[in-house]
Amino acid sequence: MNKKDFESSFLPKLPDSPGVYLFKKGRDIIYVGKATSLKQRVRSYFSNDLIKTRGRLLVDMVTLSDEIEFKETDSVLEALILEAHLIKEKQPKYNTKDKDNKSYNYVVITKEDYPRVLVVRGRTLKQDLDKQNEYKNVFGPYPYGGELKEALKIVRKIFPFRDKCTPFVDGSKFNPRPCFNRMIGLCPGVCTGEISKKDYGIQIKNIEMFFEGRKKILLNSLEKQMLKLSKEQKFEKANEIKRSIFALNHIQDVSLIKNVNLEEDNFKTVLGDVGGSDALGIRIEAYDIAHMSGKNMVGTMVVMEGGELKKNLYRKFIINNFDKANDSGALKEMLERRIQHKEWGIPNIVVLDGNEVQLKTAQDAWSFASEEIGNRESGILFCSVVKDKSHKAKDVLFLNIESWKNLEKINNSEGGALIDKIREQIIKINHESHRFTIAFHKKRRTNSFL
């Protein structure tokens, strides 16, 4: 197909919306792709520099084709799933040429009482033939692993699932401990015994229906479940399903179409391009104190940059200036000592334990120490993680609410779902901070007895 035929016959039909497009030769589908904007994406195949940007293979495909079909979807996520179905079903010539099947990614649901949902490479599926009996269902292929991981994050927020944690066994003499994903609401409580095998099975069925592309049937099923629970006066569970229905109808899949550079620019616009953030993305530091009635008091600093924990940047502090428990004083001392190290850079976000009063005390200590040594703290957000009675993270409390509101303004912009990303990272580093501090305190306490 040439550019003139495309612009006269096909371009006017293409919508500016997400979906899947199919290049055809006669009745044969020779290539399948997905798009954020069908109009813009398909038009790109008829640009003058296609051979430079896409290579000889796709130039040949465009020349050979004589028809283009498309199917609109409600979201990019659904386009991603539909694309995988069509590649698997039709085996288009130029998709299989473009990438070896062994390099594709698949979503696997295991055959267990509490199934796990995992991403597995095609070559792993082919090599581990003996493990295939352990798989209840396999969805794919998905050409790009990064996109699939982002898609699973979206699905998991709607339908939380288990991936790594150990299911809680009734009658166990050990108290159930929530995994990290349970703490941030991405595991339904398999590890703590909060969800039955039957209810978890329904959740897995919902995930399977979604990956099968049966969204309308899934929505009808959820509505029936919601009505049944309401009649049984199980209003809390009915409300959970109501939220899932809303989420399915309003999928926020900007993370699948994001421009990474633009996202980092948005972070820096709001938080300020402070030290330590210019090359590695957003820097978050979490601080924690541990002691036994004031004895063997220690503190730690845990660091995350660009969403990744940086263990080589962790720091330990021995607090010797207090004879009795004084967490605020110890925290103040630790921050004053930390700020002396200009070579560590300046964080964008500081995460602490405590309420708003303690956050203000920490901010004042940081600001005073910064002024004393001529350092720079402008733009730092101070926050803590709010937890419920079972110690599960509920929310993030920010001291500088105006900066938080600025972030909320761009939450749904082209830069990506920043609020969700920041909350997730803060909760993760807070959890890691507790782990690291407790381990250091135990070692310090043990050494003191020797």
**Residue 380, token pair as written in the block:** 């730092």
Burial 359-380 (b: 16+ CB within 10 A, else e): bebbbebbeebbeeeebebebb
Return the domain boundaries, the chain: 3-76, 103-250, 260-449
Q: Are 185 and 395 spatial neighbours (Cβ–Cβ below 8 Å)? A: no
Residues in CB range of 263: below 8 A, 6 or more apart = 415, 416, 418
- Write down the CATH number for the domain with range 3-76: 3.40.1440.10
Angstrom distance (rounded) from CA 370 to CA 339 = 7
Q: Are 31 and 65 spatial neighbours (Cβ–Cβ below 8 Å)? A: yes
Structure confidence at residue 303 (pLDDT): 93
pTM for the model stands at 0.56
187 burial (CB, 10 Å; 0-12 / 13-18 / 19+) is: buried
Angstrom distance (rounded) from CA 21 to CA 38 = 7
CA atoms within 13 A on the CB side of 305: 18
- Residue-wise pLDDT for 74-99, tens only, equals 888 899 999 999 988 888 988 866 55
Structure confidence at residue 122 (pLDDT): 80
- Integer CA distances (angstroms), 379 to 268, 269, 271, 317, in order: 10, 10, 5, 25
Q: Are 307 and 388 spatial neighbours (Cβ–Cβ below 8 Å)? A: no
**Residue 84, token pair as written in the block:** 């995988």
Task: Determine which of 140-154, 176-190, 242-256, 395-409 has the lowest per-residue pLDDT on average.
Answer: 395-409
- Torsion, CA 425, CA 427, CA 428, CA 431, rounded to 10: 160
For residue 378, the one-letter residue type is S
Flag whether pLDDT at 68 surpasses 80.
Answer: yes
Pick 99 or 73 by higher pLDDT.
73
Angstrom distance (rounded) from CA 399 to CA 384 = 9
**Residue 414, token pair as written in the block:** 């082209």
Structure confidence at residue 351 (pLDDT): 92
Strand stretches in 64-134, DSSP E: 67-72, 105-110, 117-121
Query: Torsions phi, psi of 268, nearest 5?
Result: -70, -30
Query: Torsions phi, psi of 324, nearest 5?
Result: -135, 170
Which residue has tokens 């993680």? 385
For the segment(s) 260-449, the CATH number from 1.10.10.10, 3.50.50.60, 3.30.420.340, 3.40.50.300 is: 3.30.420.340
**Residue 324, token pair as written in the block:** 């009795």
**Residue 215, token pair as written in the block:** 């969204």
Structure confidence at residue 54 (pLDDT): 60
CA-based diameter of the chain, in Å? 85
Flag whether pLDDT at 394 surpasses 80.
Answer: no
**Taking the CA atoms of the chain, what radius of gyration do you get in angstroms?**
26
Query: 3-state class of 103 per DSSP?
Result: helix
Flag whether pLDDT at 270 surpasses 50.
Answer: no
Angstrom distance (rounded) from CA 55 to CA 96 = 15
Query: Torsions phi, psi of 83, nearest 5?
Result: -60, -45
Query: Torsions phi, psi of 22, nearest 5?
Result: -130, 120
Structure confidence at residue 59 (pLDDT): 83
- Integer CA distances (angstroms), 95 to 76, 87, 89, 322, 335, in order: 19, 7, 12, 67, 55
- Residue-wise pLDDT for 121-172, tens only, equals 887 777 665 666 778 899 988 877 777 888 888 899 899 999 989 998 776 6
